[in-house]
Amino acid sequence: MNHRLWPVSLGSLARLCGGVLLSSSIVACGMVGRLRPPKAPPSVMGSAPVGVTTLEIDDARRDRHLTVEVWYPAVAPAPAAEPVVYEVEVAGITVARLRSATGAHRDAPAADGAPRPLVLLSHGYASGRYQNVGLAELLASHGYVVAAPDHAGNTMGDMVFGISAEDRARSALDRPQDLSRVLDALTAEAPTRVGPVDAGRVAVIGHSYGGRAALAMVGARFDGARQQRECAAGAEGDRRCAMVPVFGPRGYRYRDPRVKAAVLLTPAGYRFYRDDGVAAADAPTLVVGAREDRTNPFGEFHRPVFEALRGQRHLLELTPAGHLTATDVCELVDSIGFFARTFGGERARDGCGEGFMSDREALDRVGRATLAFLSLYVDERPEAAFELAEALRPTVRTAAR
């Protein structure tokens, strides 16, 4: 999510609940994750069983630790095996639970076969590695390995203590490096329990603030000198001013050359990079925009990013859809319950519930387009161009879930 899941910190929420300790306050207020009824799997589900595991990856160079969820094609589970239930913890308390809609299994043995393409997945602002479980499982069922790190310092748990403007700026710098470190670990270090990964077939997907990181991975440039001039001229209230001491006044362009393509889900980043900065991205890009997005409005964020791109570019427009429709955040908020919906305000419901397409329809549309896009540009199957064109065509619109 580009903005906070709820506008007060969980510490403030604890005080509102009258608790002394945060963890006991969460429990007393009923913030323990509940499960929604099982959902039908997406219609574009692949044939491979899905395994999921958690990796702990250290980055000694930056003195940083990453918790990473990895989905992968797996051996078929035993009939009695129970599908995974994902648990989101804050301050040691499970605040949300998410049931696998595709029957993924925890730590299932990886399927044999040739090295598989890798998709790096960057979550939104103050969210976490489980926010796009449905898309990750879908891609794994089609033969991809999908790796989603928690970006330490910018997760739901970090909101307990609040995320400052400097922390936010630091996360913009850290996220691309996090993704590159995960890529290193899954290729050079090759953990056997997720199967072999093909370092020559790598893509990145980012939602909202993660879309900014995805743009960095494919070469978007931040003009620090311009931002410094604007802030010196009186733009102190602009949150981008916090970027200047973190990134420095010189131009900043990251680019991990191993990444061949990028998918941006209701992305942030346009005001950060601007036209010329986005134009520096040099990999095929699929932009998924939501016409009713109130957090990152379509006409101010999604379409300008798409129009500024200079290479192979594609746009999938979702309507009626908001900022969170094409993620699993709506279900996570529902699992948390009353306090997430109440204290989160409109941003915690942007794209959720009545008046928007169902999360199932959104996953089908985004999944179909993403699969065709990756097939065309990562697996280099020219025949997928027709599949992608068909996936991007407007469809009959579905109202409330």
pLDDT of residue 158: 87
pLDDT in tens, 79-117: 878 999 999 988 788 889 999 999 999 999 999 999 999
Place of tokens 């509940």: 34
Q: Is a pLDDT exceeding 70 seen at residue 273?
A: yes
Higher local confidence (pLDDT), 7 or 49: 49
pLDDT of residue 16: 34
pLDDT in tens, 209-252: 999 999 999 999 999 999 999 898 876 567 888 888 998 887 79
Spell out the domain ranges in the chain: 10-219+254-392
The predicted model gives 47-70 an average pLDDT of 96
Place of tokens 């997760």: 155
Cβ pair 214, 148 in contact under 8 A: no
Task: Determine the Cα–Cα distance for residues 212 and 319; give it in Å rounded to an integer.
Answer: 22
Does pTM surpass 0.85?
A: yes
- What is the torsion angle, in degrees rounded to the nearest 10, for the CA atoms of residue 26, residue 57, residue 74 and residue 176? 90
Q: Under 8 Å CB-to-CB from 316, ≥6 apart: which residues?
A: 286, 287, 288, 289, 365, 366, 369, 391, 392
pLDDT in tens, 284-306: 999 999 999 999 999 999 999 99
pLDDT of residue 345: 62
Q: Is a pLDDT exceeding 90 seen at residue 160?
A: no
CA distances from 89 to 94, 127, 277, 330, 348 (A): 4, 11, 36, 17, 18
Q: What is the DSSP letter of 109?
A: P
- Using DSSP, state whether 53 is helix, strand or coil: strand
CA 250 to chain centre: 28
pLDDT level of residue 391 (50, 70, 90 thresholds): very high
pLDDT of residue 159: 79
Task: Determine the Cα–Cα distance for residues 337 and 96; give it in Å rounded to an integer.
Answer: 9
Indicate the range of 187-191, 213-217, 272-276 predicted with least confidence.
187-191
CA distances from 48 to 104, 140, 145, 270, 379 (A): 10, 7, 12, 37, 17
pLDDT in tens, 305-344: 999 999 999 999 999 999 999 999 999 988 887 556 555 5
Indicate the range of 26-35, 160-169, 189-198, 227-236 predicted with least confidence.
26-35
pLDDT of residue 21: 37
pLDDT of residue 396: 56
pLDDT in tens, 119-153: 999 999 999 999 999 999 999 999 999 999 999 99
Place of tokens 């999604």: 302
Q: Is a pLDDT exceeding 50 seen at residue 163?
A: yes
pLDDT in tens, 11-34: 444 333 333 333 344 444 445 677
CATH class of domain segment(s) 10-219+254-392: alpha beta
pLDDT level of residue 1 (50, 70, 90 thresholds): very low
Task: Determine the Cα–Cα distance for residues 304 and 278; give it in Å rounded to an integer.
Answer: 9
pLDDT of residue 340: 63
